[in-house]
Structure 1
Amino acid sequence: MAEDGLIRNRITDESVDLMRRRIGYPNPTVRTGAIDDPWNMVATADAVRRFSICIGDDNPLFTKPEYAAGTRWGQVIAPPGFEKSMGINRSPVMDPVEAKETSKALRGIQLYHSGGENFYYTPIVEGTKLYRSRWVKKVEEKNSEFAGRSVIVSNGIQLWDESGTVAVDGIDWFVHTERGGGDKTRKKEPRPKEEPAFYSDEDLEEIEAAYDAEYVRGADTLYLEDVKIGQKLPRMVKGPLTITDLINIHMGAGWFLYGNWPNRLAYENRKKLRGFYNRDEFNAWDTIQRVHWDKDLAKKVGLPMMYDIGPMRQLYVSHYLTNYAGDDAWIHRIRFEFRRFNYMGDVTWLEGEITDVRDDAELGPLIEVSMTGTSQRGVENIRANATILVSSRTKGKPRLPTPPPLTPHRS
């Protein structure tokens, strides 16, 4: 352990094997803290409203009950991604001896959320209570362009309601790399220099003009017959990214997995998640989550600047899709990849294109959409694709897909 409390370990065959022994059970590097309750135990229209506003989305379908009452849903529904604030823990319980032996799998190795894929089956509405399970699905080694030896851990996730109906089924990918100061002898590929963002008044005027022109389909129904392969979708902008944006997402969705509670609760959290805390500039203990807003800590783990959290870009994609899809469509699938870091100050320009239009034998009328997000450096930081179930002038509004069975990986 380092003097500042930041654990710096090497990726070893043993540590990778420990993670493989966790397949079918929770990932010890992605675990809850002292408080295991979700941010939203039960969905409410007001919780959905707060979440939406805090991700920068004021779509009335999510924020105005009187408007939502006039849609096909008859009430406020949650946008894709809201489920990240929900889910009473029902993850599978590992044998205590095996759990202890494998608890240090990839401990002291920096973790980055690199993407995922989610399938959505039923609306989350007022009164919905969800249960959640997470488990390790796959452990793969690779050589990273910037970090040398790394490990990709695929984590399954499923959420279901009180009737046992699956609402969301998906997977998250996390990349584990050695923190700055790990293997000094390993030869690494040089990292392209990434200067902090800076904007002229003209740059900011372009961004503001894009905000003024942001497209929201709303009640203008998206019909299968009106779209074609190769059609471009409206451009959208997010940013410049600020720490205030980060505060907002946590206000709307909570702390997601770990929990970063204050005062005595932080002390209780540290008892359970010791490797998730290190000494700050005052020699006091604070969460490593601050790598997202603490420049010095970001540099200690090997990055030039603070950066966003994975859910932010996932929700950029969700917001882009719901703006385009409108009130009647159903976003069934979203696959998202975080290609490069999105640093504080960065802007992301989102663009999309329709890649398929068909009347699917199982799902009905649908379109497939491909998306990219590009920073002001011209570097792609998001890549995504999605399946949207749409209306048809001959078949009417889209029907909801049939949910899969409950996962066996649950308690």
Structure 2
Amino acid sequence: MTTTEKSGTEKSGTTGKITDEDIERAKAQIGIPVKQRDIPWNTLPQADSISHFAFGCGDDNPLFHDPEYGRTTRWHGQIAPPTYPITTGLDQTPAFADEERKKLFRGLFRGTGKYYSGVKWTWYQPIYAGNPIYSEVYTLDVQVKQSSFSGGRSVKETYRHLYVDAAGRPVATRDESYINAERSGSKKAGKLRDVERKRWTPEELEEVEAAYEAEVRQGADPNWWEGVEVGAELPAVMKGPLGVVDIISMHMGWGWGGYGIGPLKYAHQARKRMPAFYEPDEYGMPEVVQRLHWDSARAQELGIPAAYDYGQMRAAWVSHLLTNWIGDDGWIVDMDLTLRGFNYHGDTHLCTGRVIEKGATPREPITIEVAATSQRGEATTQGTARVLLPSQTIGAVILPEPDEDLRARGAQVVSRLGGKVGETLRRNGLA
């Protein structure tokens, strides 16, 4: 489980409560697209930004780095890593004009901790350099639960990010879930009291280096459907020990993940726009609450042993495991992950997979059970993925087709750009 802390009206930021009013407002937001505040980090996918993203994930697959290599594959060019859409997507959703709609979306769950709990990705077509991607974001689901972590009430919100090409054809969806938890209960629960940051010995680090050396990438050698059996293990992928450079490198490719923060004058502008996102540190300097990902002292104040990663990092790591195994000719249909624990600085995670189901024909996806397990033996990330592989008898993979509802929504996303259709959509509250 990873988190982005949200600050409340009290400077201590530790007394936020979940209210019935906020729960009802969250449910009322389902299905309504919301204009994203910030321009995407990469307004247009380019060869360098695609490569930088793969670099930030620790993935040296030439399919994601080398346009010349890409031209030798079925894709006829460099393509983006699976989770690259998080760094792009032009949002044409208009801002809310009426006060009632603005009020509906204003300041939910203030003062609570917002914890990234899982994501489901679904992919329909590759992303190439030079081809723009458009997007929209809306609430897909809201569930109220009792939090075992904080000891208080929690609300799970799932947001859908829909990515489409210039023609409105879906490229991918990202259904991302967050737990809003009453932070005041986290220390009382004491679930992390006995967890300490890992101290490594030279002998242990040799084992980590050996795991990196053992990584296998299928690459240009097809992984044929006919050769796969249920129970087969995927070659593992090592990640870590996690450190500050890993966090920085992720931001180099990802950007700031829509938080709207930045350096120097950009920080000044962000403090004016959203002062609650900044809190003074022990020296009185305003720091983003997001610093939990690199500031272990702040994490410890909240009862968490050390700074930790982003959930999107582990999603990218598991997708790295999958693209290594499927090779250049395979395709990931979807990947559904749950995050059950923190990945602290100093932790390693070994990404693993096992085939658990195989359809009767190559046109049916192969299901893989996936996990990312720390050096403590804790599978902090678990889930399943479905992939398509080429066949020696019927040929190449056919990319998945989105359903009619998703295609219709994608058409609306690009229709918001203008013209008579766009005007009608806006008039009917659909854009």
TM-score normalised by L of structure 1: 0.92
The aligned counterpart of 2:419 is none
The aligned counterpart of 2:158 is 154
CA displacement at 1:102 relative to structure 2: 3.9
Task: Give the Cα separation in 2 of the matches to 1:260 and 1:147.
Answer: 27
Task: Give the Cα separation in 2 of the matches to 1:39 and 1:188.
Answer: 38
CA displacement at 1:21 relative to structure 2: 2.4
8 Å contact from structure 1 (residues 7, 275) kept in 2: no
Matched, 1:249 2:250: yes
CA displacement at 1:71 relative to structure 2: 0.6
The aligned counterpart of 1:9 is 16
1:310 alignment partner AA:
G
2:134 alignment partner AA:
Y
1:104 corresponds to which of 87, 104, 107: 107
Matched, 1:388 2:387: yes
CA displacement at 1:356 relative to structure 2: 1.3
Which range moves more in the overlay, 257-266 or 209-218? Answer: 257-266
Task: Give the Cα separation in 2 of the matches to 1:264 and 1:32.
Answer: 21
| Aligned CA-pair RMSD | 2.2
The aligned counterpart of 1:306 is 307
8 Å contact from structure 1 (residues 4, 280) kept in 2: no
CA displacement at 1:403 relative to structure 2: 2.8
8 Å contact from structure 2 (residues 150, 188) kept in 1: no
Structure with the larger helix share: 2
CA displacement at 1:384 relative to structure 2: 2.3
Sequence identity of aligned pairs in percent?
A: 36
SS at match of 1:80: coil
Which range moves more in the overlay, 5-14 or 131-140? Answer: 5-14
8 Å contact from structure 2 (residues 118, 178) kept in 1: yes
Task: Give the Cα separation in 2 of the matches to 1:177 and 1:45.
Answer: 40
Task: Give the Cα separation in 1 of the matches to 2:374 and 2:389.
Answer: 30
Matched, 1:240 2:244: no
The aligned counterpart of 2:420 is none
The aligned counterpart of 1:403 is 402
The aligned runs of 1:131-280 (5 Å cut-off) are: 131-148=134-151, 149-179=153-183, 182=184, 188=189, 190-191=191-192, 193-280=194-281
Task: Give the Cα separation in 2 of the matches to 1:101 and 1:157.
Answer: 20
8 Å contact from structure 1 (residues 32, 259) kept in 2: no
8 Å contact from structure 1 (residues 224, 365) kept in 2: no
SS at match of 1:46: helix
1:63 corresponds to which of 65, 76, 96: 65
2:90 alignment partner AA:
I
SS at match of 1:141: strand
CA displacement at 1:99 relative to structure 2: 1.9
Structure 2 unpaired stretches of 5+: 1-7, 414-429
Task: Give the Cα separation in 1 of the matches to 2:103 and 2:33.
Answer: 12
CA displacement at 1:96 relative to structure 2: 3.0
Q: Deviations over 1:230-252 (max 9, x none)?
A: 11111221100001100000001
Task: Give the Cα separation in 1 of the matches to 2:89 and 2:9.
Answer: 35
Task: Give the Cα separation in 1 of the matches to 2:335 and 2:264.
Answer: 38
Task: Give the Cα separation in 2 of the matches to 1:322 and 1:289.
Answer: 30
Q: Deviations over 1:96-151 (max 9, x none)?
A: 32322541211221111111111100110021211111111211111122212211
8 Å contact from structure 2 (residues 36, 137) kept in 1: no
2:160 alignment partner AA:
G
